[in-house]
Amino acid sequence: MKFGVVIFPGSNCDYDTFYVLKEVLGQPTVFLWHKDHDLQGVNCVVLPGGFSYGDYLRSGAIARFSPLMQEIVEFAHKGGLVLGICNGFQILLEVGLLEGAMLRNKNLKFLCQHVWVRVENNQTPFTWQAKVGQILKIPIAHFDGNYYAPAETLEKLKTKRQIIFRYCTESGEINEEANVNGSLENIAGISNDAGNVLGLMPHPERASERLLNSTDGLVIFQSILDYWQRQ
Amino acid sequence: MKVRILVNLKNGVLDPQGQTVRHALHVLGYHQVKDVRQGKVFELELEGLDRQSAARLIPEIADRVLANPIIESFSWDFLEEA
């Protein structure tokens, strides 16, 4: 399975993500440059974390207009797998592949810490190998992760089971205390209606090796690989 | 020709920055301040079009780029004639 990691000016988790896909997951992986129009035949596009265009205007607001993003939108509409991590999630919201928007964290702090998220739906290519209710310990690092969506969108996300990850306590409780950034419904990650596009604020690429204190993020990458191999 | 575009969070959308500014004002004794909403200001200098065309172009730019319609609304005005 071939992965592509997109580089925007200001991406800073691109090499970490590339390393996990290539060295830990052991799959052919290429970098994709934001100014190109070529997806190089990849089977899954990963938009990494960082601060594309310095987060100017709004997080992800400038990156969404890059030439490669137009290709990625088309790729996603054809059913291609697209994963957005942190800033990648913000870009997917801005470009409209995912619904909703990000507000500044409720406490106005840049949050850089380990959190726990609960898997709410494992019937997606990204959570295929996880169990519903499984608790993953994965770090976050963001300023704008306070997920917001209008009431009708939120209702649709619930009905169609598009809420994939929610912030929880270490024991898996969904409450206000665990909701570090103030997101509606403790939302940490959502998918599109078709299930082939996922965005999440936590950084699974920073939790894919024992050396880094958690391997809980690896299940996301392994799910993608396993899902693709079964197709 | 110059225009000024104001982008603000919609009513009902949480504004943590505005709340913090309000809190700071209260700490300083300005209890008359009931609420604060923080937004953005853009000043655009335009060329090669008349006011009528500008009046069509600005909402397009604001809606497509400067504001995120899910959380923000905008208003705008001409600043001066060139």
Closest residue of chain B to A149, computed from CA coordinates: B70
Which of A13, A86, A120, A168 does the annotation list as catalytic? A86
Q: Give the distance, in angstroms, between the CA of residue A177 and the centroid of all CA atoms in the same chain.
A: 22
- d(Cα B37, Cα B19) in Å, to the nearest integer? 7
Annotated active-site residue A34? The verdict is no
- d(Cα A169, Cα B81) in Å, to the nearest integer? 58
Residues of A in contact with B15 (CB under 8 A): 103
pLDDT tens digits, B5-64 = 999 999 989 899 999 999 999 999 999 999 999 999 999 999 999 999 999 999 999 999
pLDDT tens digits, A133-144 = 999 999 999 999
Domain ranges of chain B: 2-80
Is A35:A67 a contact under the CB 8 Å cutoff?
yes
Q: The pTM is what?
A: 0.94
For B1, residues 6+ apart whose C-beta sits below 8 A from its C-beta are B45, B46, B47, B49, B51, B54, B78, B80, B81, B82
Q: How many CB atoms lie within 10 A of CB A110?
A: 12
Which of A57, A106, A148 comes nearest B71 by C-beta?
A: A148
Residues of B in contact with A58 (CB under 8 A): 68
- Complex ipTM: 0.83
- d(Cα A138, Cα A111) in Å, to the nearest integer? 13
Residues of A in contact with B14 (CB under 8 A): 103, 106, 146, 148, 182
Q: Check: CATH 1.10.600.10 for A3-230?
A: no
Reply yes or no on whether the pLDDT at A231 is more than 90.
no
Tell me, yes or no, if A110 comes closer than 8 A to chain B by beta carbon.
Answer: no
Rounded to an integer, the average pLDDT of A187-208 is 98
Which of A65, A94, A103 comes nearest B13 by C-beta?
A: A103
Relative to beta strand A187-191, strand A135-142 is unpaired
- d(Cα B33, Cα B36) in Å, to the nearest integer? 7
Residue A144 distance to chain B (closest CA, Å): 11
- d(Cα A229, Cα A12) in Å, to the nearest integer? 29
Q: Give the distance, in angstroms, between the CA of residue A138 and the centroid of all CA atoms in the same chain.
A: 12
- d(Cα B40, Cα B63) in Å, to the nearest integer? 14
What is the percent of chain A where pLDDT is above 70? Answer: 100
Closest residue of chain A to B9, computed from CA coordinates: A103
Which of A13, A44, A120, A203 does the annotation list as catalytic? A203
Closest residue of chain A to B13, computed from CA coordinates: A148
Annotated active-site residue A114? The verdict is no
Reply yes or no on whether the pLDDT at A17 is more than 90.
yes
- d(Cα A189, Cα A165) in Å, to the nearest integer? 5
CATH topology of domain B2-80: Mth169; Chain: A , (3.30.1280)
With an 8 Å Cβ cutoff, the interface of chain B facing chain A consists of 9, 13-17, 20, 65-66, 68, 70-71
Domain ranges of chain A: 3-230
pLDDT tens digits, A97-107 = 999 999 999 99
What is the percent of chain A where pLDDT is above 90? Answer: 99
Rounded to an integer, the average pLDDT of A144-148 is 97
Residue A41 distance to chain B (closest CA, Å): 30
Interface test with B, best of A55, A104, A105 (most B CBs within 10 A): A104
Confidence of residue B81 (pLDDT cuts 50, 70, 90): low
Decide: helix, strand or coil at residue A223. Answer: helix
Reply yes or no on whether the pLDDT at B80 is more than 80.
no
Relative to beta strand A101-103, strand A146-148 is antiparallel
